[in-house]
Chains A and B, each alone.
Chain A
């Protein structure tokens, strides 16, 4: 799918500083990977098999948009973590150090691990472009939701809690109502090609 999309883009004569949006497509299986957490310990996503859903969140320490969601991410992970959903943060920004990520996680009370994606390998694999950007997998590790947490960065005028809707649907054995959404976000600061 990813190669097909890239081929279409190349054929159309487009230029893109980043991989194509949606390089990992709805309905695709998760390819388990390992990344180090902030303590330097390798975390293998295979340990999450058996969870009712897995939420991967590309996040940042310095992005105002991602930071606007810190409290919401912490609350959602607590609420849905108690229902068997695993939350994992991924930081792919080249300029955000492990030490900075550890301090940021502690400051905002993140109960979920934040993994360091050195060289933005996983950001490239997923085609993640912004922070925050969310990928939700069902118990069979099939991608069921990709996009924003909700539709209002400020949190004051949220009309569509998209991540919550996706998780409620999965936990209830229902189809996710809206599988893909978009929102403004900061660029993931990749290493030079």
Chain B
């Protein structure tokens, strides 16, 4: 079963080297590209109480496993200040925003407001859904990400047919995402992170 995590819950998580068993950094913030619905990577803090920001960043491709307790990387070289993600990962403020967008279905129903990004765990982490604060749907709901989504910075337009995969709990949403992906994008389901 796919285990899912809220991206925001990763803040403060240790980054641990598989080569040494040492915690080499911790997550300061999650950098996300809303236009392409892609997890780009992470800005980092040093470990420890008085530790501050690191200039090094961690690209999503360099993460070998994201779990509920840690982000795993092969070794120290995973965190770098010459990341491939020149741009948004360097300057997170430039990344397009999705949190705060109003969620509207393609048949014109307002569903709520985006409050977070949901990630899959495991070896190849990727964004699979958005957490939506939805008074109409009795609180928090999870909406699967699809290529057909459009995001403006004010509105996130979701295909009407995806609304049947909306779930109120993360555990149930994991199964719904798998099902939805098999129906809509069988190719990308095999290649998460593939840049079409």
| A and B physically associate | no
Residues of A within 8 A of B (CB): none
Interface residues of B (CB under 8 A from A): none
